[in-house]
């Protein structure tokens, strides 16, 4: 379980005054009041409030025993019946530098998002192939863990580079993998879409996916310190001016299990 605590600093008095300032309700015009000065409304001293929201992200985890080395396939499967089959298909497509095949391993919304991002970045399929060309056929993928969070399966794996070697005695090329014990783990997310398993970007910003490799299980940070309000409220009449103090922003401070 990953616990995420977010602190929202609500400058209630200042926020209300600022809203009223922009809407023009804090004072009446001199023509409406009959005088030359604006009417102001007294308020109490501003008080800072700390609202804490705790979110729990539950997931189930299993280790692959023994760890599994992914094989490859020669073409896009007619259907994929497990997340592992999708990942096999994805890396097979990467080895073949087949963009259309690779794109079809994603669910519809994710595939569209990928295409939209490529369009925004003016990235062509040829650039995608160039990006993967150096690694195509040289990736040994080792499954290490299997996670379940809601309706999503997260496959955790390591990528070990495969390098060519030439045996001096026979001059026959062979291959070996460079096993890296401390190589970082990578996570991909899958779910059932239209009755079959597909990769998805649904959890690309989810805490379980972002922190699956961390040793800590709880995180805390300030979401809204309220600093910008202070400068805006300075423009209010002195009788209603508030002076909230800026809270220190704790960006991503980790707390131990």
Sequence spans of domains, the chain: 2-56+217-255, 60-210
With 0-12 CB in 10 A as exposed, 13-18 as middle and 19+ as buried, what is 244?
Answer: buried
Mean pLDDT of the chain: 76
pLDDT of res. 35: 52
Mean pLDDT, residues 184-199 taken together: 96
**What is the reported pLDDT for 129?**
95
Give the Å distances, CA to CA, from 201 to 124, 154, 189.
20, 11, 7
Q: What local confidence, expressed as pLDDT, does residue 213 receive?
A: 87
d(CA 159, CA 186): 8
pLDDT at 217: 79
94 φ, ψ (degrees, to nearest 5): -65, -40
The yes-or-no verdict on residue 29 having pLDDT over 50 is no
**106-137 core/surface letters (b: 16 or more CB in 10 A; e: else):** bbeebbebeeeebeeeeeeeeebeeebeeeee
**Whole-number Å distance between alpha carbons of 56 and 219:** 11
Tell me the pLDDT tens digit for each residue of 79-104.
Answer: 999 999 999 999 999 999 999 999 99
The pLDDT assigned to 176 comes to 52
- Residue range 197-203: mean pLDDT, rounded: 97
pLDDT value at position 7? 52
Which residues on neighbouring strands pair with residue 190, listed in sequence order? 153, 199
Nearest to 150 by CA among 94, 191, 121: 191
Provide the pLDDT for residue 37: 58
DSSP-assigned letters across all residues of 130-165: HHHHTTTT-EEEEEEEEEEETTEEEEEEEEEEEEEE
Q: What is the mean pLDDT of residues 187-208?
A: 96
Distance CA(217)–CA(207), nearest Å, equals: 10
The arithmetic mean of pLDDT across residues 38-49, rounded, is 83
CATH of domain 60-210: 3.10.450
Question: What does the pLDDT look like over 146-161, one tens digit per residue?
Answer: 999 999 999 999 999 8
């Amino acid at each position: 379980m990953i616990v995420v605590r977010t602190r929202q600093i609500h400058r209630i008095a200042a926020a209300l005054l600022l809203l009223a300032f922009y809407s023009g309700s804090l004072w009446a015009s001199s023509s409406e009041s009959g005088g030359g000065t604006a009417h102001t409304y007294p308020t109490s001293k501003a008080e800072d409030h700390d609202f804490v929201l705790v979110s729990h992200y539950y997931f189930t985890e299993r280790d692959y025993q023994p760890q599994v080395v992914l094989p490859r396939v020669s073409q896009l499967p007619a259907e994929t019946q497990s997340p592992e089959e999708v990942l096999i298909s994805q890396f097979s497509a990467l080895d073949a530098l087949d963009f259309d095949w690779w794109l079809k391993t994603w669910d519809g919304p994710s595939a569209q998002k990928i295409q939209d991002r490529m369009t925004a970045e003016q990235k062509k399929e040829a650039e995608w192939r160039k990006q993967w060309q150096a690694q195509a056929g040289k990736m040994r993928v080792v499954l290490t863990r299997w996670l379940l969070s809601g309706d999503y399966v997260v496959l955790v794996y390591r990528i070990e580079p495969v390098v060519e070697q030439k045996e001096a005695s026979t001059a026959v090329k062979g291959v070996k993998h460079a096993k890296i014990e401390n190589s970082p783990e990578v996570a991909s997310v899958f779910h059932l879409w239209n009755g079959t398993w597909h990769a998805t970007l649904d959890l690309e910003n989810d805490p379980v996916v972002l922190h699956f490799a961390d040793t800590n299980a709880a995180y805390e940070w300030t979401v809204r310190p309220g600093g910008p309000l202070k400068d805006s409220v300075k423009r209010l009449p002195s009788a209603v001016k508030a002076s909230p103090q800026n809270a220190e922003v704790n960006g991503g401070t980790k707390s131990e299990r």
